[in-house]
Amino acid sequence: MSSIIKATNIVKSYSAGKAIETVVLNGISLEIERNNITAITGPSGVGKSTLLHIIGTLDEANSGKIEFFGESETFDFTKLDSSKIASFRNKHIGFIFQFHHLLPEFTALENVMIPALIAGEKKSIAKEKAINLLQKTGVLHRQKHKPQELSGGEQQRIAIARALINSPELVLADEPTGNLDATNSDAFISLITDIQKSEGTTFVIATHSPDIAAIADIVIKMKDGNIESTQKK
Ligand SMILES: Nc1ncnc2c1ncn2[C@@H]1O[C@H](COP(=O)(O)OP(=O)(O)OP(=O)(O)O)[C@@H](O)[C@H]1O
Ligand SMILES: [Mg+2]
């Protein structure tokens, strides 16, 4: 097995007031296998989103270590300063959320292009890549529309294209089908399965969806801020 992420003894707690401390991640250790779809499951409040945010450098653990084994470089998150973390994240990790967070004042095409422009890509190349991805995700005909003019399923397809524009090795998705109907949810699942196979992207998906757990190569089940079981298919 070749890991892309190795998390060791991750502790995350929140304190509300002086006396109350909520431990969300209780010394969790795990490895994410590259070139696979991993589903993270477990009851509401168990820490799935928190774990995903920490793996994605959107949030910081109180203690523990996270290593990212890139194709050409290894990163230890505890040793990256905040400006390096932002550029590392933009380049190496794509994000898909339940609420897609598309920018309302930009068109679908522009929303997909933005991470590439931030990464320093030439506008013409960013546009070419974005058009390619909109084609692949089946929403090229909506490229000039703004998010509010699009259906939930279309918005989520644009969010997938945006997550993939910098060819990230790792894509983290938090409840990506939580806001979709059954048809769009099925379409989402077959789209990411196809992309995983064609691009070799590693996906980690926090989800309540049994359909996503069913297609995942590995299912990590969380309980009380830790791992209850890891099932490999
Ligand atoms: N900023 C915060 N401040 C305080 N507590 C928080 C904060 N963010 C999350 N929590 C707490 O951490 C726990 C885990 O939250 P998390 O969002 O990771 O759960 P989850 O497994 O993703 O749940 P769901 O399935 O409902 O999305 C919850 O009890 C939540 O209340
Ligand atoms: Mg969550």
pTM score, two decimals? Answer: 0.93
The CB density around residue 220, as the number of other CB atoms within 10 Å, is: 24
- What is the pLDDT, as a whole number, of residue 141? 96
- What is the pLDDT, as a whole number, of residue 18? 67
Between the CA of 86 and the centroid of ligand 2 the distance, in Å, is: 22
One digit per residue, pLDDT tens: the chain, 233 residues?
A: 799 999 999 999 988 776 778 899 999 999 999 999 999 999 999 999 999 999 999 999 999 999 999 888 888 887 788 888 888 888 899 999 887 789 999 999 999 999 999 999 999 999 999 999 999 899 999 999 999 999 988 999 999 999 999 999 999 999 999 888 899 899 899 989 999 999 899 999 999 999 999 999 999 999 999 999 999 98
Between the CA of 206 and the centroid of ligand 2 the distance, in Å, is: 7
- What is the pLDDT, as a whole number, of residue 72? 83
Kindly report the protein residue whose alpha carbon is nearest to atom 5 of ligand 1: 14
Residue showing tokens 């004042």: 105
CB-neighbour burial class of residue 191 (10 A; exposed 0-12, middle 13-18, buried 19+): middle
User: Three-class SS string for the chain?
Assistant: CCEEEEEEEEEEEEEECCCEEEEEEEEEEEEEECCCEEEEECCCCCCHHHHHHHHCCCCCCCEEEEEEECCCCEEEHHHCCHHHHHHHHHHHEEEEECCCCCCCCCCHHHHHHHHHHHCCCCHHHHHHHHHHHHHHCCCHHHCCCCHHHCCHHHHHHHHHHHHHCCCCCEEEEECCCCCCCHHHHHHHHHHHHHHHHHHCCEEEEECCCHHHHHHCCEEEEEECCEEEEEEEC
**Parent domain of 144:** 3-232
CATH code of the domain in which 28 resides? 3.40.50.300
Q: Is the CB of 225 under 6 A from ligand 1?
A: no
Kindly report the protein residue whose alpha carbon is nearest to atom 16 of ligand 1: 47
Q: Is the CB of 22 under 6 A from ligand 1?
A: yes
The CB density around residue 62, as the number of other CB atoms within 10 Å, is: 13
Residues whose CB falls within 8 Å of the CB of residue 207, separated by 6 or more in sequence, listed in order: 39, 40, 41, 48, 173, 175, 176, 177, 178, 213
- What is the pLDDT, as a whole number, of residue 208? 95
Residues whose CB falls within 8 Å of the CB of residue 222, separated by 6 or more in sequence, listed in order: 28, 40, 41, 42, 46, 47, 48, 51, 228
Between the CA of 105 and the centroid of ligand 2 the distance, in Å, is: 27
Task: Please report which ligand is nearest the Cα atom of 13.
Answer: 1
Question: What are the angstrom distances between the C-alpha of 155 and each of 119, 134, 206?
Answer: 23, 11, 19
Q: How many structural domains does the chain have?
A: 1
Q: Which amino acid is at 126?
A: A
Residue showing tokens 């973390």: 85
Between the CA of 183 and the centroid of ligand 1 the distance, in Å, is: 28
- What is the pLDDT, as a whole number, of residue 127? 98
